[in-house]
Amino acid sequence: MSEAAARTIRKPRPKYLSLPALLFEIRLPLPGWVSILHRISGALLFFALVWLLWMLDLSLASEAGFERVQRYAALVPVKLALLVLAWAYCHHFCAGIRHLFLDLDKGTDLGPARLTSGLVLAASIALVATLGWALW
Protein backbone atom coordinates (compact mmCIF):
# COMPACT_ATOMS: atom_id res chain seq x y z
CA MET A 1 0.00 0.00 0.00
CA SER A 2 1.34 3.39 -0.91
CA GLU A 3 1.97 6.11 1.57
CA ALA A 4 -0.79 8.32 0.15
CA ALA A 5 -3.34 5.51 0.40
CA ALA A 6 -2.35 4.85 4.00
CA ARG A 7 -3.02 8.49 4.84
CA THR A 8 -6.53 8.37 3.35
CA ILE A 9 -7.59 5.40 5.50
CA ARG A 10 -9.11 6.92 8.60
CA LYS A 11 -9.02 5.39 11.99
CA PRO A 12 -12.31 5.26 13.85
CA ARG A 13 -12.68 8.29 16.04
CA PRO A 14 -12.89 7.74 19.78
CA LYS A 15 -16.41 7.67 21.20
CA TYR A 16 -17.00 10.13 23.98
CA LEU A 17 -19.59 9.14 26.52
CA SER A 18 -22.68 11.26 26.76
CA LEU A 19 -25.97 10.87 28.58
CA PRO A 20 -27.79 9.40 25.53
CA ALA A 21 -24.94 6.94 25.06
CA LEU A 22 -25.12 5.87 28.70
CA LEU A 23 -28.90 5.51 28.64
CA PHE A 24 -29.51 3.93 25.24
CA GLU A 25 -26.31 2.51 23.76
CA ILE A 26 -24.30 1.02 26.62
CA ARG A 27 -25.84 -1.88 28.51
CA LEU A 28 -24.81 -1.24 32.10
CA PRO A 29 -25.05 -4.25 34.45
CA LEU A 30 -27.31 -4.12 37.50
CA PRO A 31 -24.47 -3.40 40.00
CA GLY A 32 -23.50 -0.42 37.85
CA TRP A 33 -27.04 0.96 37.94
CA VAL A 34 -27.18 0.54 41.72
CA SER A 35 -23.88 2.39 42.06
CA ILE A 36 -25.02 5.27 39.83
CA LEU A 37 -28.37 5.48 41.65
CA HIS A 38 -26.46 5.55 44.95
CA ARG A 39 -24.58 8.63 43.80
CA ILE A 40 -27.71 10.30 42.40
CA SER A 41 -29.66 9.65 45.60
CA GLY A 42 -26.83 11.06 47.71
CA ALA A 43 -26.69 14.25 45.63
CA LEU A 44 -30.48 14.56 45.77
CA LEU A 45 -30.47 14.22 49.56
CA PHE A 46 -27.69 16.78 49.85
CA PHE A 47 -29.51 19.40 47.77
CA ALA A 48 -32.91 18.71 49.40
CA LEU A 49 -31.47 19.18 52.88
CA VAL A 50 -32.09 22.94 52.82
CA TRP A 51 -35.77 22.45 51.92
CA LEU A 52 -36.26 19.80 54.60
CA LEU A 53 -34.54 21.92 57.25
CA TRP A 54 -36.70 24.90 56.27
CA MET A 55 -39.85 22.82 56.80
CA LEU A 56 -38.53 21.52 60.12
CA ASP A 57 -37.62 25.01 61.32
CA LEU A 58 -41.00 26.39 60.32
CA SER A 59 -42.88 23.56 61.99
CA LEU A 60 -40.95 23.93 65.26
CA ALA A 61 -41.17 27.72 65.40
CA SER A 62 -44.82 27.99 66.39
CA GLU A 63 -48.19 26.31 66.26
CA ALA A 64 -49.17 28.40 63.23
CA GLY A 65 -45.95 27.38 61.48
CA PHE A 66 -46.71 23.73 62.15
CA GLU A 67 -50.19 24.10 60.64
CA ARG A 68 -48.67 25.92 57.65
CA VAL A 69 -46.24 23.05 57.06
CA GLN A 70 -49.12 20.56 57.37
CA ARG A 71 -51.10 22.41 54.69
CA TYR A 72 -47.97 22.69 52.54
CA ALA A 73 -47.15 18.99 52.89
CA ALA A 74 -50.69 18.06 51.88
CA LEU A 75 -50.16 19.43 48.36
CA VAL A 76 -49.72 16.73 45.70
CA PRO A 77 -46.42 18.06 44.24
CA VAL A 78 -44.94 18.27 47.73
CA LYS A 79 -46.08 14.73 48.50
CA LEU A 80 -44.47 13.51 45.28
CA ALA A 81 -41.24 15.34 46.15
CA LEU A 82 -41.28 13.79 49.63
CA LEU A 83 -41.85 10.37 48.06
CA VAL A 84 -38.83 10.89 45.79
CA LEU A 85 -36.78 11.92 48.81
CA ALA A 86 -38.00 8.85 50.69
CA TRP A 87 -36.80 6.72 47.77
CA ALA A 88 -33.47 8.56 47.76
CA TYR A 89 -32.99 7.95 51.47
CA CYS A 90 -34.01 4.28 51.37
CA HIS A 91 -31.91 3.53 48.30
CA HIS A 92 -28.90 5.43 49.62
CA PHE A 93 -29.13 3.61 52.95
CA CYS A 94 -29.46 0.12 51.42
CA ALA A 95 -26.80 0.73 48.77
CA GLY A 96 -24.50 2.21 51.41
CA ILE A 97 -24.68 -0.99 53.44
CA ARG A 98 -23.90 -2.94 50.26
CA HIS A 99 -20.88 -0.70 49.58
CA LEU A 100 -19.62 -1.21 53.13
CA PHE A 101 -19.64 -4.97 52.53
CA LEU A 102 -17.88 -4.45 49.18
CA ASP A 103 -15.18 -2.49 51.03
CA LEU A 104 -14.67 -5.58 53.21
CA ASP A 105 -14.31 -7.73 50.03
CA LYS A 106 -17.63 -9.47 50.66
CA GLY A 107 -19.80 -10.01 47.60
CA THR A 108 -17.35 -8.78 45.01
CA ASP A 109 -17.71 -11.80 42.71
CA LEU A 110 -20.14 -11.58 39.80
CA GLY A 111 -22.94 -13.73 41.23
CA PRO A 112 -23.11 -12.18 44.70
CA ALA A 113 -22.70 -8.68 43.25
CA ARG A 114 -25.73 -9.16 41.01
CA LEU A 115 -27.71 -10.74 43.85
CA THR A 116 -26.98 -7.95 46.33
CA SER A 117 -27.76 -5.33 43.68
CA GLY A 118 -31.16 -6.89 43.13
CA LEU A 119 -31.71 -7.08 46.88
CA VAL A 120 -30.85 -3.39 47.26
CA LEU A 121 -33.34 -2.41 44.57
CA ALA A 122 -36.06 -4.69 45.96
CA ALA A 123 -35.53 -3.51 49.55
CA SER A 124 -35.53 0.16 48.62
CA ILE A 125 -38.71 -0.22 46.54
CA ALA A 126 -40.41 -2.15 49.35
CA LEU A 127 -39.42 0.49 51.91
CA VAL A 128 -40.63 3.32 49.67
CA ALA A 129 -43.92 1.53 49.04
CA THR A 130 -44.42 1.24 52.80
CA LEU A 131 -43.54 4.90 53.36
CA GLY A 132 -45.64 5.97 50.38
CA TRP A 133 -48.62 4.10 51.80
CA ALA A 134 -48.22 6.02 55.05
CA LEU A 135 -47.69 9.32 53.22
CA TRP A 136 -50.82 9.15 51.09
Among 85, 7, 92, residue whose Cα is nearest residue 49: 85
What are the residue boundaries of the structural domains of the chain, listed by start?
Answer: 29-49+75-135
| Predicted local confidence at residue 27, as pLDDT | 79
Decide if domain 29-49+75-135 falls under CATH 3.40.50.300.
Answer: no
Among 96, 92, 91, 83, residue whose Cα is nearest residue 131: 83
| Predicted local confidence at residue 1, as pLDDT | 54
Q: Which residues contact 14 (CB under 8 A, 6 or more apart)?
A: none
Per-residue model confidence as pLDDT tens digits over 104-128: 999 889 999 999 999 999 999 999 9
- What does the chain come to in residues? 136
The number of beta carbons lying within 10 Å of the beta carbon of residue 7 is: 8
In this prediction, the residues of the chain whose per-residue pLDDT falls under 50 are none
